[in-house]
Amino acid sequence: MSEENNEELYAVIPLKGLRPGVELVTDVYLKINGKVIKYKEAGDKISSEKLDFFIAKHLYEIYVLKEFEETFNKWVTEKKQDSINSLVEEVGEEHRDLAEKREEIRELIYETFSDQDLDSKAIEVLQYQSKEFITTVSDDKVNKTIIAKLSNFNSTLADHSVNTASLSVYIAMCCGFGNQYDLENVYMGALLHDYGKVKIPANTLENKGSAAYSQAILDHPYRGMKMIKKMKDMPEEIQMIVAQHHEQFNGNGFPKSLKGQEIYKFAMIVAIANIFNNTIEDELIKKSIKKPNIEIYRKSIKVLEYDKGKQFSPEYLERAIDGLKLAFGNYQK
Tell me how far apart the alpha carbons of residues 320 and 313 are, in angstroms, rounded to a whole number. 10
- Order the strands of the 35-40 sheet from edge to edge: 3-4, 35-40, 28-32, 61-65, 10-14
- Contact by Cβ (8 Å): 35, 92: no
By C-alpha distance, which of 113, 105, 111, 101 is closest to 142?
Answer: 101
Q: For every one of its 333 residues, what pLDDT tens digit does the chain have, with 9 covering 90 and above?
A: 555 567 789 999 999 989 999 999 999 999 988 889 999 999 999 999 999 999 988 888 999 999 999 999 999 999 999 999 999 999 999 999 999 999 999 999 999 998 888 888 889 999 999 999 999 998 877 889 999 999 888 778 999 999 999 999 999 999 999 999 999 999 999 999 999 999 998 889 888 889 999 999 999 999 999 999 999 889 999 999 999 999 999 999 999 999 999 999 999 999 999 999 999 999 998 998 888 999 999 999 999 999 877 899 999 999 999 999 999 976 654
- The pLDDT score that the predictor gives to residue 331 is 62
Q: Which residues contact 28 (CB under 8 A, 6 or more apart)?
A: 38, 39, 40, 44, 46, 62, 63, 64
- The pLDDT score that the predictor gives to residue 57 is 87
Q: Integer distance in angstroms from the first to the last C-alpha of the chain?
A: 55
Tell me how far apart the alpha carbons of residues 282 and 40 are, in angstroms, rounded to a whole number. 26
All structural domains of the chain: 3-77 (no CATH), 93-329 (1.10.3210.10)
Tell me how far apart the alpha carbons of residues 247 and 254 are, in angstroms, rounded to a whole number. 5
Coil/strand/helix, residue 89: helix
Query: What is the model's pTM?
Result: 0.94
Tell me how far apart the alpha carbons of residues 324 and 106 are, in angstroms, rounded to a whole number. 22
By C-alpha distance, which of 216, 226, 321, 230 is closest to 269?
Answer: 321
Tell me how far apart the alpha carbons of residues 198 and 228 are, in angstroms, rounded to a whole number. 12
Instruction: Quote the distance between the C-alpha of residue 300 and its chain's center.
Output: 17
